[in-house]
Amino acid sequence: MYDIRLRTLSYLVAVSRTGHFGDAAVDLGVSQPALSQALARLEGEVGVALFVKAGRARLLTPAGEHVVRFAESVLAQASRLESDLRARADGLAGTLRVGMIDAAALYLVAASVQRFRDERPDVELVVTVDASDALLAALADNRLDVALVVGPVADERATSIVTEPLGIYGPPIDNISEAQPWVLYPAGSHTRALVDEGLALRSIRPEVHAESDNPSVLAQLVRLGAGWTVLPAGIAEAGPEPLVRVGKPIAQREIVGVTSAEAADDALTQAFLAGM
């Protein structure tokens, strides 16, 4: 296999353009002996003459013309590669795998994500919407670069993104502690833990008749008369049939951004989090 350097190919292209070793060396800012020796090694490597002398000029042989076309193509690709890698290092290009809970995707950071897309058209943004636990598992397995999940998260790479209130929604009632039944987030989920704690502080022991990790489903169940629920206002009070909150919010839900270990210092990942 040939051992050919990009610098030598650039020498070859320069000589093809100027017709003289000396002029090419001046254009490239190298000494003529260094350029001549490099091109002599190239001829020895490929085993054919690339130039013929014509006075002071150097003219390409047919083989030389073929190698020049190859050199121009390789140098152009190398330049594109350099630009692409620099753009990736600067957070302006590449692929970013992002996980979000549904609330983040639907309304919390939707505008910020769109702005990130607009500002970085060369970035391929691959978005996964799932529950917090599933997203954190994907981060641990390096199937995601960054995830927006419900906090708190015991990870030094976690960054607070936004905090939103969780309130009770359902039919008006004088004593909310007597409200039954309830439709809530699934037991064991991050949001359900916040809900259970908030309800307990108000002496509410919910009889849960239905669970869903989709807040829009919970809101619709309340509209259908299935009972009471606890939701963020961004879901419960949106749309043509907004629900009315019962009393004050019972909890605050923090959304945090967490990176995978591999992407923690990546410029693209950090640019995404900074834009949220």
Asked if the model's pLDDT at residue 241 lies above 70, the reply is yes
Q: Do residues 108 and 254 lie in contact, with contact meaning Cβ atoms separated by under 8 Å?
A: no
Do 152 and 265 sit in the same domain of this protein?
yes
Q: For 61-84, what is each residue's pLDDT tens digit? A: 999 999 999 999 999 898 888 877
Do 229 and 211 sit in the same domain of this protein?
yes
Final residue of a domain: which of 29, 55, 89?
89
CA distance 2 to 192: 64
> Average pLDDT of the chain?
91
Q: Is residue 173 part of a domain?
A: yes
Q: Residues 186-204: what's their mean pLDDT? A: 95
The pLDDT score that the predictor gives to residue 94 is 84
Do 154 and 261 sit in the same domain of this protein?
yes
Can you name the residues that pair with 97 across neighbouring β-strands? 126
Do 76 and 190 sit in the same domain of this protein?
no
| CATH at 103 | 3.40.190.10
The pLDDT score that the predictor gives to residue 221 is 96
Do 135 and 244 sit in the same domain of this protein?
no
The pLDDT score that the predictor gives to residue 26 is 93
Tell me which residue range forms the domain holding 106: 98-160+257-274
Do 70 and 194 sit in the same domain of this protein?
no
**Mode of pairing for the β-strands spanning 94-100 and 146-150:** parallel
Q: Is residue 151 part of a domain?
A: yes
Dihedral angle computed from the Cα positions of residues 109, 112, 116 and 118, in that order, rounded to the nearest 10 degrees: 120
The pLDDT score that the predictor gives to residue 265 is 83
Do 262 and 196 sit in the same domain of this protein?
no
Q: Residues 116-135: what's their mean pLDDT? A: 92
Asked if the model's pLDDT at residue 38 lies above 90, the reply is yes
| CATH at 209 | 3.40.190.290
The pLDDT score that the predictor gives to residue 254 is 95
Q: Is residue 1 part of a domain?
A: no
Do 167 and 247 sit in the same domain of this protein?
yes
Final residue of a domain: which of 89, 111, 138?
89
Tell which residue, 60, 17, 57, 7, has the closest CA to residue 37.
Answer: 7
Q: Is residue 268 part of a domain?
A: yes
User: Residue 108 has what DSSP assignment?
Assistant: I
Low-confidence winner among 91-100, 125-134, 173-182, 253-262 (lowest mean pLDDT): 91-100
* Total domain count, the chain: 3
12 phi and psi angles, rounded to 5 deg: -60, -45
Do 73 and 10 sit in the same domain of this protein?
yes
Q: Residues 114-137: what's their mean pLDDT? A: 92
Tell which residue, 234, 172, 179, has the closest CA to residue 205.
Answer: 179
Do 118 and 171 sit in the same domain of this protein?
no
Do 169 and 243 sit in the same domain of this protein?
yes
User: Residue 241 has what DSSP assignment?
Assistant: S
**Residue 9: how many CA atoms within 13 Å on its side-chain side?**
19
The pLDDT score that the predictor gives to residue 1 is 61
The pLDDT score that the predictor gives to residue 46 is 87
Neighbours of 24 (CB within 10 A): 24
Asked if the model's pLDDT at residue 88 lies above 80, the reply is no
Final residue of a domain: which of 64, 89, 114?
89
Q: Do residues 245 and 237 lie in contact, with contact meaning Cβ atoms separated by under 8 Å?
A: yes
| CATH at 22 | 1.10.10.10
Q: Residues 196-219: what's their mean pLDDT? A: 94
Q: Is residue 262 part of a domain?
A: yes
How much is the pTM? 0.69
Asked if the model's pLDDT at residue 90 lies above 80, the reply is no
Do 29 and 75 sit in the same domain of this protein?
yes
Asked if the model's pLDDT at residue 2 lies above 80, the reply is no
